Amino acid sequence: MKNNNYSPKYIKYLKKIKKDTVTTKIYQVLILALFLVLWEVLVQVGVLDAFFFSSPLRICTTVVDLFATGNLLHHIFITLGETLLGFAIATILGTLIAIALWWSNKLRSVLDPYIVVLNSLPKIALGPLIIIWVGAGTNAIITMCVLICIVITILSMLSAFLNCDKDKILLMQSFGASKFQILTKLILPNALVEFISVLKINVGMAWVGTIMGEYLVSKAGLGYLIVYGSQIFKLDIVLTSTVVLCLLAGGMYFFVGLLEKKVKRI
Amino acid sequence: MENYLIFDHVYFNYFTKTGEFNAINDLNFNIKKGEFIAIVGPSGCGKTTILSLVAGLLEPTEGKIMLDGESVKTANIGYMFQRDHLFEWRTIYKNILLGLEIKSKRVDADTAYIDELLVKYGLADFKNKHPSELSGGMRQRVALIRTLAVKPKLLLLDEPFSALDYQTRLDVCDDVKNIIRQEKQTAILVTHDISEAISMADRIFVLTSRPATLKCVEQLEFDNALTPFKRREEKHFSKYFNKIWEELSNEK
Ligand SMILES: Nc1ncnc2c1ncn2[C@@H]1O[C@H](COP(=O)(O)OP(=O)(O)O)[C@@H](O)[C@H]1O
Ligand SMILES: [Mg+2]
């Protein structure tokens, strides 16, 4: 950009926008810092009981301790692995099912009531059944994660497919396109934006699924740490795991955001 | 010249859950090669249905439609819509290639023809841009080139200008007419805008309200060199306008 072409007022306007984003960032950091300091101080002066509320410093030492024994990394690895796997399976399988439902009107109308019921059912209710069917282990956790993500994936992708402009389909047909060509050259690329927003929703959902699964059955993982910590009344462990979870989920969301930026540029 | 497109006692019924209704009723006409036909009629009378029949997207309930001696189901027919329907995820060039890709005959001769069209109609510089970077008029020109790229035997235009603002519309009319004439295309334009029909066509078919059938045909006599915009300044333009307007207002 050639700055010398802009009027002074416009330059001022640009500066203001830049300043606004900077101040927003500063406030965001400030709130976090204030929260941490307040928390620490209240614990130190004894207003809050460290036994129930832990404290930022105690969380730091817990992180260091857990790292030293090699445990934390192990638990993170387990939970992250389950979440990513569940996320990937639900997204791919859900999209494939949505494609099948788009392809066949018959299939769609036949399955419609089942999907509606599955959507409104609280998936956690299936927990005991899942454990009996696939065993009380990693499989059950991943199954829970997939179950929670997949229905919303199917419904969102299907409605994106069906919302494609009728005239665009006519255009393809006037060129003599086959159904498969309509799918690959129009329906799928047209639904890309919706696909990204499904990914975003699934990032949140996948963590819910995994942690819920771990509450039910696990022997390791962050969800397990939380349950274990609360059972032995080590709130340090519970809060440490929660903070780590926040960071992981935030990081995953960040990567989807990067992907979104890349797609938007196309 | 012999007949190119033939509508022979064509009937079409729509089937819906609430009943069956007759949309096209005993439609007969002939179009010669290279002719530019405009079809006007009250809205909802069945104009789009006629184009879908010509494009082979619908099949007549009764009667026969032939294009250059073959069935329209197999014929190569180009269709242009009210909106340009360019795909935002493709560049201009890739958009224009769409038809060839679908027909999977991306042979060199065809891409050479596309390059020729791009240069001839001032789109070469926009080749690698995305649709959102172009103006509405420019996008409609791309949509036309995309349709012409597959060398259709017949070009169908379904109210292709109605989504544009008035000023752009007059420009794009000139533009489209010029390209169609240079490429010697046979074309059918559907519109509810009488002056647009008079400014573009060689003949105008006036339809009755639903079920559509041919009410009358108007042969237009204008100097061949006149652009659609120039036609609007001719003395007999308003004479044609009044005549067709009267025919249509009897229909309501
Ligand atoms: N797929 C369809 N099913 C049932 N009725 C239809 C369908 N498409 C159009 N129609 C009806 O057929 C009539 C003619 O439609 P159309 O050809 O789109 O009219 P026009 O293009 O002249 O406005 C209208 O009354 C419309 O409601
Ligand atoms: Mg119409």
Distance from CA of A216 to the nearest CA of B (A): 44
**Whether B239 and B160 share a structural domain:** yes
B53 and B173 both lie in a single domain? yes
Chain centroid to CA B164: 16
Do B130 and B88 form a contact (C-beta atoms < 8 A)?
Answer: yes
Average pLDDT over residues B153-181: 88
Judging by DSSP bridges, how do beta strands B3-16 and B19-32 pair with one another?
antiparallel
Kindly list the residues from chain B whose CB atom is less than 8 angstroms away from the CB atom of residue A185: 98, 101-102
A168, A176, A266 member nearest B85 (Cβ) = A168
As beta bridge partners, residue B67 has: B5, B70
Question: What digits encode the pLDDT tens for the residues A45-73?
Answer: 988 888 888 899 999 998 888 888 878 88
CB atoms within 10 A of CB A153: 26
Distance from CA of B234 to the nearest CA of A (A): 36
- pLDDT, mean over chain B: 88
Using the beta-carbon criterion (under 8 Å), do B57 and A170 form an inter-chain contact? Answer: yes
CA distance B159 to chain A (A): 13
The answer to whether residue A1 scores a pLDDT higher than 60 is no
Nearest 5°: the CA angle A32, A37, A42 is 130
CA B147 to chain centre: 11
- For residue B78, the chain A residues in CB contact (below 8 A) are 174
Instruction: Say if residue B47 is in the same domain as residue B124.
Output: no
User: Residue B219's CB: how many other CB atoms inside 10 A?
Assistant: 9
Q: Give the mean model confidence (pLDDT) for residues A105-127.
A: 90
Chain B neighbors of A173, CB-CB under 8 A: 57
Backbone torsion region of residue A134, taken as left when φ is above 0, otherwise alpha when ψ lies between -120 and 50, otherwise beta = alpha
Of B125, B152, B179, which residue constitutes the final position of a domain? B152
Average pLDDT, chain A: 90
Would you say residue B80 lies in a domain?
no
Q: Is B205 helix (H, G, I), strand (E, B) or coil?
A: strand
State residue A37's pLDDT score: 94
B103 contacts A175? CB cut-off 8 A? yes
Q: Which atom of ligand 1 is nearest to the CA of B41?
A: 22
Q: Shortest CB distance from A176 goes to which of B81, B83, B103? A: B103
Co-location of B67 and B25 in the same domain: yes
pLDDT at res. B214? 85
Where in chain A are the domains?
3-44, 55-265
User: Would you state the pLDDT for residue B1?
Assistant: 59
Over residues A192-247, the pLDDT tens digits come to 999 999 999 999 899 999 999 999 888 888 999 999 888 988 888 898 899 999 99
Which tens digit of pLDDT belongs to each residue from B213-250? 888 888 888 888 888 888 888 888 888 888 889 888 87
Here the CATH number for the domain that contains residue B39 is: 3.40.50.300
What are the residue ranges of helices labelled H in chain A? 8-44, 50-53, 56-68, 71-103, 105-120, 127-134, 138-162, 166-174, 179-182, 188-190, 192-217, 222-231, 235-265
Instruction: Determine the pLDDT at residue A32.
Output: 93
Q: CB count, 10 Å around CB of B250?
A: 11
Contact between B83 and A181 using a beta-carbon 8 Å cutoff: no
Q: Between chains, do B99 and A175 touch, taking CB under 8 Å as contact?
A: yes
Residue where a domain terminates, one of B127, B152, B177? B152
For residues B110 and B111, the model is more confident at B111
Cα–Cα dist A236/B99, whole Å? 64
Distance CA B64, CA B9 (A): 7
Within 76-135 of B, beta carbons closer than 8 Å to A belong to 76-79, 81-83, 85, 87, 89, 98-99, 101-103
Please report the pLDDT score of residue B107 as a whole number.
61
- Return the residue of A nearest to B74 by Cα: A176
For residues B125 and B161, membership in a common domain is answered with: no
- What's chain A's length in residues? 266
Residue that has been written with the tokens 């360019």 in this structure = B86
Report the C-alpha gap between A215 and A223 in whole angstroms.
6
Do B102 and A167 make contact, defined as CB atoms within 8 angstroms?
A: no
| Whether the predicted pLDDT of B108 surpasses 80 | no
Asked whether the beta carbons of residue B82 and residue A167 sit closer than 8 angstroms, the reply is yes
C-beta separation of A190 from A163 below 8 A: no
CB contact, 8 Å: B54 with chain A?
no
Q: What is the pTM of this model?
A: 0.85
Q: Which atom of ligand 1 is nearest to the CA of B52?
A: 17
Predicted confidence (pLDDT) per residue in B19-74, tens digit: 898 999 999 999 999 899 999 988 888 999 999 999 988 999 999 998 888 888 87
A175: nearest CA partner in chain B: B99
**Mean predicted confidence (pLDDT) in B144-164:** 89
DSSP symbols for B78-101: EEE-SS----TTS-HHHHHHHHHH
* Same domain, yes or no: B71 and B169: yes
Cα–Cα distance for residue pair B128/A187, rounded to 1 Å? 23
Query: What's the CA gap between B59 and A167, in Å, rounded?
Result: 18
Same domain for B132 and B93 = yes
Q: What 3-state DSSP class applies to B4? A: strand
pLDDT, residue B106, reads 60
Burial status of residue B204 (CB atoms within 10 A of its CB: 0-12, 13-18, 19 or more): buried
Residue A2, pLDDT above cutoff 60? no
Instruction: Specify the CATH number for A55-265; select among 1.10.3720.10, 3.40.630.30, 3.40.50.261, 3.30.70.420.
Output: 1.10.3720.10
Question: Given B152, B179, B200, which residue is the final one in a domain?
Answer: B152
The domain in which residue B20 lies consists of 3-75+153-249
Residue of B nearest to A180 (CA): B102
Q: Which two tokens stand for residue A82?
A: 């389950």
Q: Which ranges constitute the DSSP H helices of chain B?
A: 47-54, 92-102, 108-120, 136-148, 166-182, 194-200, 228-231, 235-249
Q: pLDDT band for A3, please (50, 70, 90 cuts).
A: low
Nearest Cα residue to atom 14 of ligand 1: B46
Which residues of A fall within a CB distance of 8 Å from B150? 175
Instruction: Report DSSP letters for A12-78, one per residue.
Output: HHHHHHHHHHHHHHHHHHHHHHHHHHHHHHHHHTTSS-HHHH--HHHHHHHHHHHHHTTHHHHHHHH
Rg, Å, chain A Cα set? 24
Q: What is the structure's pLDDT at A172?
A: 94
Calculate what percentage of chain B has a pLDDT beyond 90: 34
How much of chain A, in percent, has pLDDT values that exceed 90?
A: 62
Give, as one character, the DSSP assignment of residue A186.
I
Residues B109 and B231 grouped into a single domain: no
Which segment, A185-189, B67-71, B110-114, B176-180, is predicted with the most confidence on average?
A185-189
Provide the token pair at A146.
């997939």
